[in-house]
Amino acid sequence: MANVRLSAIKKSFGKTDVLHGISLEVASGEFVSLLGASGCGKTTLLRIVAGLESVTAGSVEIEGVEVTRLPPEKRDIAMMFQSYALLPHLDVAENVRFPLRMRGIGGREEQAEKVKAALETVQLEHFADRRPRQLSGGQQQRVALARAIVSRPKVLLLDEPLSNLDARLREDMQVELIEIHQRLGLTTIFVTHDQEEALSLSDRVVLLNAGKIEQEGTPAEIYSQPATGFASNFIGSANLLPADIVAGDAGPMAKFSDGQTLQLGPDERVRGPVSIALRQEDLSLSATGDGPKAKVRTRVFLGARNRYVLSLAGEPLRALTANDVEFSNGQSVTLSIDPQRVRVLPR
């Protein structure tokens, strides 16, 4: 059953159209990520679900009840803000109790129980009487999470909650979010611009671009079968090269503007002018052999790996290799790639 149903949501700020008719269903207990670059409308969409933003057209349903005109305080939701929005004058326990108090859920004792349980969930039970100011960023983040789950809302909305944490803490927090989601089974909508975060956390990823849904699917689908140039560039930051499809001895081939060709899989149906999407991590480089040749422009040492910036048919091309593969600048190298890993996208 759909827990949240968005139908043809449109939103304009003055003359600027931010969302162009978005329809989306989120199943009960599902973890859905809204992924996109800044300005794509993902936060606006989340705020529309929360009721903090009105819609220009379209409707919002939560558990089958239309809530389009309902103010946020009357929707049974919880939202975690990027800045955490902890009340600085209240201690941790009071912050977590706040939604219970405002919604009048339970008596004092029951509330205290729930606050305690929520704080235990995020492992902050010993910080109950601290002020938010006395906590680290990661701890504040956990308080915000505890406050969001304490009232068991129908929908949990997360607005880039991990973006203010450093890399290490972010990884810990991702694991924790997955575990809490599994344990509580809350319907969750998660907004992020970080594709790795979206892929690792969600049941389903919704890729937004310029106020439209570019593609939606499971993380595996999104990663392995990007439907558009934007999707393949945004997810896994693939190289996009213009090419034409020509017939070769062993099936279709991509022909680049300098006349070099690249073998494609035999079932490739797309014809005409296309973009060839090549993932950096799928490319391998060698000094000799058959295949398109590219020129080494720069090598960037990344520790575990090397990134080469190459030039193929005048286009820049990035490739990730093991850190012991070494070429010198200006050297000509041969590219090879499993034809099944090449995505051909109509241009």
Partner 1 sequence: MVKSVPTWLRAAAVIFVLVTALILLTPLFVVIGVSVSQSQFIAFPPNGLSLRWYQQVLSSNAYLGAGWISLQVAVMVTVFATLIGGAAAIAIHRRQLMFSDLLATAFLSPLVLPTIIYAIGMLMFWSAVFGPVSPFTLALSHTIIALPYVVRTTLAVLAESDPFLEEAARTMGASRVQRLWFVVVPQCIPGLAAGAFFAFNISFDEAVLSLFLRGPTLTTLPVQIYGQLEFSPDPSVAAVSSIMIALTIMLIFVIDRMLGLTRFASA
- Binding-site ranges for partner 1 (CB under 8 A): 50-52, 71-74, 77-79, 81, 83, 85, 87-90, 98-99, 102-103, 147, 151, 157
How far is 153 from 21, CA to CA, in rounded Å? 26
Nearer to partner 1, 82 or 331 (CB): 82
Nearer to partner 1, 71 or 316 (CB): 71
Smallest distance from partner 1 to CB 1, Å: 23
Neighbours of 135 (CB within 10 A): 18
Provide the residue type at 39 as one letter. G
DSSP of 223-268: HH---SHHHHHHSS--EEEEEEEEEETTEEEEE-TTS-EEE--TT-
Smallest distance from partner 1 to CB 26, Å: 17
Smallest distance from partner 1 to CB 155, Å: 10
Smallest distance from partner 1 to CB 132, Å: 10
Nearer to partner 1, 154 or 279 (CB): 154
**DSSP state letter for 178:** H
Q: How long a stretch of residues is the chain?
A: 347
DSSP of 279-330: -GGG-EEESSSSS-EEEEEEEEE-SSEEEEEEEETTEEEEEEEETT----TT
Nearer to partner 1, 73 or 249 (CB): 73
Nearer to partner 1, 89 or 271 (CB): 89
Smallest distance from partner 1 to CB 178, Å: 23
Nearer to partner 1, 51 or 226 (CB): 51
Smallest distance from partner 1 to CB 98, Å: 6
How far is 61 from 3, CA to CA, in rounded Å? 8
Q: What is the largest CA-CA distance in the chain?
A: 78
Provide the residue type at 89 as one letter. H
Could you tell me if 45 and 210 are in contact, meaning their C-beta atoms sit under 8 angstroms apart? Answer: no
Nearer to partner 1, 85 or 169 (CB): 85
Q: Taking the mean position of all CA atoms in its chain, how far away is CA 190?
A: 8
Smallest distance from partner 1 to CB 285, Å: 48
